[in-house]
Structure 1
Amino acid sequence: MSSDYTYDEQGQFFPFFILTLTGLITLPLTYNLLKPSKELENTAPRIKSDFKPQHGDLIEAQKRKRLRKERRIKRIVTVILGYFVMAWMVYLILVTARTTPKLYDPYEILGIARSADEKAISKHYKRLSLIYHPDKIRPDPAKNETVEMLNERFHELTQAYKALTDEDIRNNYLQYGHPDGKQSFSIGIALPKFIVTEGNQKYVLLVYGALLGVLLPYIVGKWWYGSQRYTKERVLIATAGNIFREYKEDMTDGDIVSVLSSGEEFKEMLQGAQADSGLGKLEKKVLADDSSFLSAKDRETLKKIDNSARRKALALLWAYLGRVELDDTTLDAEKYEAAPIALSLSEAFNAIALAFGNLRPIIGAFQSSQNLIQAVPPGSSPLLQLPNFTNAVVKSVEGQDSKDHLSVQKFMKMSEDQRRKLTVGTGLLSEKQYTEAVTVARQLPVLEVSKAFFKVMGEKVITPSSLVQLVVKARLIPPGCTNVPAVNELDLEDVDPDEDDLDALMGRKAAKNKTVKIIDGKKVETKLETIQPPLAHAPYLARDHSPRWHIFLADAKQGKMAVPPFTFTTFEKPLFDEAGKPTFNVQTLKMQFQAPPQVGDFTFVMHMLCDSYLGLDSKVEITLHIDDPAKAVAVEEDDDISEPDEDSIAGQMHALKTGGAPKPSGTPKKKTQKPSEDSSDEDSDTDGDAGDTSDTNTETDVED
């Protein structure tokens, strides 16, 4: 059996090849572009506000620019071109004439059933011979028939008859699929013939060389180099190195802003002549005498920078933080473009500060995030984050010579008449502006700590090196809220999860946000809610940001971090009802760490910081009490001593021995006091409320 390799001259198979190859690239890219985003900024609600900043159009333009950058226009164009090519190939497949060889079937040629025996086949063939024999039939001009066509038809009938009745011919048909024995066949290669036509080989080799030797290595190298250029905080490795080299233990807020300007991302933003364009005008505006937000040290730092790109980046950051009017559309656009970059770099600085563990830079990193999101200079009043508030309005509220700033919470605690008197008037706010500011203030997510304590899951005492949970009970109480209900004491308790709830025991999120509990012998499935707070009200920031709360423990005496921050972005209970009013639900925030290996009392300062707003942070002094392991064993033994139930054999034996009635089933077990060899203070620790999860000192002192 011979074979003949031919090329797809008629275009029968080439479209299938191109369609398959294009689909392998286009379909995964389509999924990547259309899959739902899991970023918090895309699912969180928004604070209701009608406030529009002066350069709102520039800020929105920068937001759109960032979105275009994140969506990667190249991928979108690739997908569009891919679908165009696929549609073209489908069109070619549908309109191109296709000739597909059919398998030889003598039964179909004779028009007889496969169940017919040899006698029936012979009889049927004789009937057809009387009709189609060349001596019995004449060509029909209406059908364009010729004598050759009639002879060929009769030959096919005879050959099919012999394939079913003649032994040798039938063997050929059964073995090779054709009565004439082995047949040659053609294998079509799904490439057009012009590709291998003489004279075109050099162009084909050139195309293959360009694809495999240039384009493919370039794409792979670019992907690999791009993935290696960034840290897990998605900042350039070179930027992280710059920040690391400039890190100092005694850094102030202005120093951190200066460090952020060292990012290589600003060099990519200010390429070529952009670094020097408008720099003189920018510095003149920022360093003006009325720029009171800049300290003398910050001014000198800006003047000493030699690199044009970094100098302009730092000037743009100060202009953004000070809300300086630059009177130049290009400079204002660059000012709003620089802020989101600096916010991303602050996460890298935060990671480096956490690695060193010094308290001041860590807090400064979180506060820098607050300043960048709200466009407020370091050390300025938190009231500036309210819409329409300016330095003049702040001075009217706080007093001309006041050195202590007023938080939004304290401002909203004033009476309505007092607030209006201080903020509404000539050179201050109008009634509409005042209403806009108060409306936003009433929606700020202020978390107030109701209780904070340590516990070990399933235990009543905390022993050395055990896994301790810091449980924080807090409520969202926006500024200006009145008639806030008292905290329900039951909400301040922390109940251990069921023994079969592995997700809760391991600190994992439940699969598919559902939990299954057994109630009255039946499995009941409960859906767990994850409630997101509204997006940060940041009208000057050219990107959306979902608030994050960071909780960590610090050693105030040494100025060091004791337990790294745990970050919380969602809550377990609704924050607002359907009418938009606060629910005042008690939210539970937990972080787990290993207890110290020594017995004793360890006093920490718990910091809870919101990265999006100024003045919402809180500090709580909390003591961790570590007990001796022997005490834990004694408490467990006390819990194990109990009288048997009446429906058990042990209960019946107990009744015979004591002569009394056995204790009914379900009666609370009575604890047996174990004599203590220690002082009465220790007795008070072990004889406390059985519902307490820990005997640690959980009295907290909350500071705003």
Structure 2
Amino acid sequence: MSSDYNYDTDAQFFPFFVLTVTSLITLPLTYSLLRAPSSQVASSSKASQITSTYQPDNVDIIDSQRAKQKRKDLHLKSILTAAVGWSIMAYMVYLMVVTARSVPEIWNPYDILDISMSAQEKDINRRYRKLSLTMHPDKREPNAALNETAESVNNQWVEIVKAYKALTDEEVRNNYIMYGNPDGKQSTSFGIALPQFIVAEGSGKYVLLIYGALLGIGLPWLVGSWWYGMRNQTKEKILVTSAGNMFREYSPNMDGGDVVAAISSATEFKDILSGTKADAGLGKLENKLRSSEACNTAMLSKDKKKLVNTEDPERRKTLALLWAYLARVPLDDANLEAEKFELAPTAQRLSEAFTSIALAHGFTAPVFASWRFAQSITQAVSPGKDGAPLLQLPHFTITIVDEIRRNSKQRKHMTVQSFMALPPEQRQALAQAAGLTNDRLRAAESVARQLPLLKVEKAFFKVQGEKYIIPSSLVQLVVKARFIPPGTTQIPPVNEKDLLDIDPADGDIKAQKIEPEENPVPLAYAPYFARDRAPRWHVFLGDNRQGRIAVPPFTFAAFDKKPFDPETGKPTFEVVTLKMQFQAPPQVGEYKFTMHLVCDSYVGFDFKQEVVLNIEDASKGLEVDSDDDISEPDEGEFLILSFP
């Protein structure tokens, strides 16, 4: 038995082959691109920006790094690959539609003899004798008008004889039944979905070699890399090895410097500082840190020891660059400056993963340290207690804020809101004494009046549709707040109706299904951070006595009312509602918590307040007066917490 290789000479089936191979790459890639974006990216795409003409030093380097980060976020290479893949697939579908396909004819003796399949043997013999009188080569002359030749006439008669024997001769009939051919078993035929012109003139073996490499090596490697990359990352989109390294760095009593050291252990930084960048300029960098007064103030002695004792050159350089960024140390080297600003967005993303690690342990100190590091890395401010919130304003330098603290005779640096709360004359006097001109002060005040400071107006616990909070019920902590930027004047009073949280009527299914609007705040004002960042607010309940988190945080990046007018950028003073739902304790009693409201993008905008949750006996839930409206309970029945 021989083998016969048949090529797709008319390219009838080649599009099917190309479509299949292309879809194996394009479909998984498209799925990864179309997965729901994170809230951070989604909010960034809708949010406006805080207006300012201020440009920091090395603005060209920061802008180039910001453009680089945007390209990373957009996954341009993946999008381009997916677009090419879909274009090829569309073209292959077009070829499949317009290409005429020839279907191979099945050898059928009944069709050749032109008789029905129910014909008896005598009918077959009669038909054969009749055809022999007209179709036999000795009795038939080729018709030139029909392009007939002696060979074609002879071939037609051979087919007639084969058909006759297939229906009358037992051996030939068995061959036809078993193999579909009166001559018995035929040679094996292999179809190759390649047009013949590709493999013409002896190039076939090379083309087949390329196909073998693509299908046997390239495609498995590509799919394997994609799958391994998916499995090699956590849900926070960081490498599993980085999560393991940071987990080993965790301790229950961490501060901002400890978080900096923990995040420097991530493998992602090795990709940024790979090759010749690993330890290039490390000596110069460390000399700059040692000679910087701001860095010496920002770093505690234990932080300096960690830097000195780090042996891995890549991690040591990462740690030094992070401290140089946080302390705003000028490095006088374009390459080092570019690396300094490039590391910050990666460090911020890793801080979110470290927050998840800290939340899993439940201690409040590491969680706060992680969030404060996120604030510091966004604003390029030291994460320690000596971090100066006023550095978030344009034109404010470390020297200026130190002078303001000294002249104001305060132990700690002033927050933006406390500085803006001063009388204008006192602000101007402090700024001038510190070396800040009036024009620059006005530019800083303009930015301060656009910052999204969330002021809590009222908070209370409730159970939807019920008057009392009983054990193990689903409790909501409802927070009513307004965005009032620092230094804002002529603030309208709060409408008391806006501080209520009225439940929809029991039968109003339509009202119950209405989803609240999502209105983002402006992107974080962070001129040193080489990436657009949407601020987020975290609300959680803590137990100060044990130093642990009682109710895990709920995160808010958008709100049910518009915090700022999209056209003017001014605050609307609308009351926004934040809700977090959790299960009440199983025992009756009074439970004291600390409610924390933390913004992850601005330093000094955090808020905390002691709150008390009263759990009543379950029998009280059955004491319902017929005149009471259960779906709209009176506020007096809840624990109401008002904040000045």
User: Do the structures match in fold with TM over 0.5?
Assistant: yes
Q: Determine which structure has more spread, i.e. the larger CA radius of gyration.
A: 1
- Alpha-carbon spacing, 1:242–1:504, altered in 2? closer, same or farther (3 Å): farther
* Number of the residue aligned with 1:524: none
Which residue of the partner structure matches residue 494 of structure 2? 487
Distance in structure 2 (CA, Å) of the matches to 1:93 and 1:423: 74
Cα contact 1:258–1:314 (8 A) shared by 2: yes
The answer on 1:371 being equivalent to 2:376 is yes
**Displacement after TM superposition at 1:216 (Å):** 2.4
Q: TM-score by structure 1 length?
A: 0.72
Aligned counterparts of 1:557 and 1:236: Cα–Cα separation in 2: 35
Task: Return closer, same or farther for 1:319/1:504 CA change in 2, 3 Å cut-off.
Answer: farther
Report the CA distance between 1:44 and its aligned residue. Answer: 1.0
Local SS of the residue matching 2:237: coil
Q: Aligned in 2, Cα 1:670/1:615: closer, same or farther, shift over 3 Å?
A: closer
8 Å CA contact 1:388–1:437 kept in 2: the answer is yes
The alignment partner of 1:332 has SS state of helix
Are 2:350 and 1:345 equivalent residues in the alignment?
A: yes
Which deviates the most, 470-479 or 76-85? Answer: 76-85
Match of 1:576 among 552, 556, 564: 564
The answer as to whether partners of 1:622 and 1:697 remain within 8 angstroms in 2 is: no
Q: Deviations over 1:413-460 (max 9, x none)?
A: 1122221221136x7223332222111100111111111110011111
Cα separation, partners in 2 of 1:372 and 1:694, compared to 1, 3 Å: farther
In 1, distance between residues paired with 2:587 and 2:628? 33
Query: Is 1:330 aligned with 2:335?
Result: yes
The 2-side partners of 1:503 and 1:40 are apart by 27
Instruction: Give the 3 Å change call, closer, same or farther, for CA 555–188 of structure 1 in structure 2.
Output: closer
Aligned to 2:478: 471
2:411 aligned residue: 403
1:322 to partner: Cα distance:
0.6
Percent identical among aligned pairs is 51
Partner SS state of residue 399, structure 1: helix
Runs of 5+ in structure 2 lacking a partner?
106-142, 149-189
The structure-2 alpha-carbon separation of the partners of 1:548 and 1:77, relative to structure 1 and needing over 3 Å to count, comes to: closer
Residue 44 of structure 1 aligns with which residue?
47
Query: How far, CA to CA, are the matches of 1:357 and 1:36 in structure 2?
Result: 28
DSSP-derived class of the 1:251 partner: coil
**Matched residues in 2 for 1:562 and 1:94: separation?**
63
Query: Structure 2 counterpart of 1:699, which letter?
Result: L
Which one-letter code corresponds to 2:342 in the other structure? E
CA offset at residue 63 of structure 1? 1.8
Q: Distance in 2 between matches of 1:31 and 1:255?
A: 38
In structure 2, how many angstroms separate the alpha carbons of the residues matched to 1:475 and 1:296? 41
Please say if residues 518 and 561 of structure 2, whose CA atoms lie closer than 8 Å, have aligned partners that are also in contact. Answer: yes
What is the CA–CA distance in structure 1 between the aligned matches of 2:232 and 2:146, rounded to whole Å? 77
Instruction: Confirm or deny that 1:356 pairs with 2:353.
Output: no
Letter in structure 2 aligned against 1:615: G
2:138 maps to which residue? Answer: none
Aligned to 1:413: 421
Question: 1:465 aligns to what SS in structure 2?
Answer: coil
Structure 1 residue 381: Cα displacement: 1.5
Asked if 1 retains the 8 angstrom alpha-carbon contact of 2:537 and 2:598, the reply is: yes
**Superposed, which structure 2 residues align to 1:439-478 within 5 Å?**
439-478=446-485
In 2, are the aligned partners of 1:623 and 1:698 still within 8 Å (CA)? no
Q: 1:48 to 1:36 in 2, by over 3 A?
A: farther
Return the alpha-carbon distance in structure 2 between the equivalents of residues 49 and 315 of structure 1. Answer: 30
Q: Is the contact made by 2:521 and 2:564 (CA closer than 8 Å) also made in structure 1?
A: no
Is the CA contact (8 Å cut-off) linking 1:551 and 1:606 kept in structure 2?
yes
Equivalent residue of 1:496, what SS? Answer: coil
* Structure-2 separation of matches of 1:670 and 1:373: 51
The question of 1:251 aligning with 2:254 is answered yes
Counterparts of residues 38-437 of structure 1 (less than 5 Å): 39-79=42-82, 81-82=84-85, 148-149=144-145, 191-193=194-196, 202-203=205-206, 205-288=208-291, 290-291=293-294, 292-378=297-383, 379=385, 380-399=387-406, 402-424=410-432, 428-437=435-444
State the AA in 1 paired with 2:637: D
Q: How many residues were matched structurally?
A: 556
State the Cα deviation string for residues 662-703 of structure 1 (Å, max 9, x = none).
xxxxxxx489xxxxxxxxxxxxxxxx998425634333556x
- Secondary structure at 1:579 match in 2: coil
Note if contact 2:467-2:638 (Cα within 8 Å) is conserved in structure 1. no
- The 3-state SS of whatever aligns with 2:285 is helix
Distance in 1 separating the partners of 2:504 and 2:101: 70
Indicate yes or no: 2:593 matched with 1:604: yes
CA distance in 2, matches of 1:69, 1:340: 11
SS at 2:271's partner residue? helix
CA separation of 1:605 and 1:701: change in aligned 2, threshold 3 A:
farther
C-alpha separation between the residues in 2 aligned to 1:27 and 1:670? 58
- In the alignment, is residue 585 of structure 1 matched against residue 592 of structure 2? no
Which string of whole-angstrom CA distances, capped at 9 and with x for unpartnered residues, describes residues 35-84 of structure 1?
99662212211111111111111111112222333333443453565578
Instruction: Identify if the C-alpha distance between structure 1 residues 625 and 389 changes in structure 2 by more than 3 Å, giving closer, same or farther.
Output: same
Q: How far has the Cα of 1:297 moved from its partner?
A: 2.0
1:9 corresponding residue in structure 2 = 9
Distance 1:210 1:493, change over 3 A: same
Alignment match, 1:543? 531
* Shift in CA distance, 100/554, structure 1 to aligned 2, threshold 3 Å: closer
**DSSP-derived class of the 2:640 partner:** coil
8 Å Cα contact 2:458-2:643 kept in structure 1:
no
Q: Give the letter for the 1:574 counterpart.
A: K
Bigger Cα displacement from structure 2, 299-308 vs 590-599:
299-308
Q: Distance in 1 between matches of 2:259 and 2:93?
A: 59
Contact kept? 1:625, 1:695, Cα under 8 Å? no
Query: Structure 1 residue 594 and structure 2 residue 583: aligned?
Result: yes
Q: Find the partner of 1:554 among 542, 563, 566.
A: 542
- The equivalent position to 2:554 in structure 1, one of 550, 553, 566, is 566
Q: Which letter does structure 2 place at the counterpart of 1:428?
A: G
C-alpha distance in 2 between matches for 1:63 and 1:440: 21
**Partner of residue 697, structure 1:** 639
> For 2:77 and 2:498, how far apart are their aligned partners in 1?
52
After TM superposition, the score normalised by the length of structure 2 is 0.78
Q: Deviations over 1:631-668 (max 9, x none)?
A: 2212x2xx23xxxxxxxxxxxxxxxxxxxxxxxxxxxx
Amino acid paired to 1:359: T
Distance 1:413 1:584 in 2: 18
Alpha-carbon distance in structure 1 between the residues aligned to 2:632 and 2:10: 87
**Are 2:25 and 2:223, in contact at CA under 8 Å, matched by a contact in 1?**
no
- Kindly state the Cα deviation for residue 394 of structure 1 after the two structures are TM-superposed: 1.1
Amino acid at match of 1:633: L
1:533, 1:148 → 2: CA distance? 87
The Cα RMSD (Å) is 3.6
Deviates more, 1:428-437 or 1:322-331: 428-437
Instruction: Kindly provide the CA deviation profile for residues 164-215 of structure 1, in whole angstroms up to 9, marking residues without a partner as x.
Output: xxxxxxxxxxxxxxxxxxxxxxx99853235677966654653443233312
Q: Cα 1:629–1:434, aligned 2, differ >3 Å: closer, same or farther?
A: same
Assess if the C-alpha contact under 8 Å between 1:253 and 1:364 holds in 2: yes
Cα distance change of structure 1 residues 233 and 87 upon mapping to structure 2, 3 Å threshold = closer
Contact 2:478 2:578 in 1 (8 A): yes
CA distance in 1, matches of 2:324, 2:257: 13
Q: Please say which of residues 227-236 and 608-617 is displaced more in the overlay.
A: 227-236
How far does residue 504 in structure 1 lie from its aligned partner after superposition?
7.7
Moved more, 331-340 or 406-415: 406-415
Aligned partners of 1:630, 1:377: CA distance in 2, in Å?
A: 53
- Structure 1 474/214 Cα, relative in aligned 2: closer, same or farther at 3 Å? same
The farther-off stretch of 415-424 and 32-41 is 32-41
| 1:549 and 1:569 in contact (8 A); partners too | yes
The alignment partner of 2:291 has SS state of coil
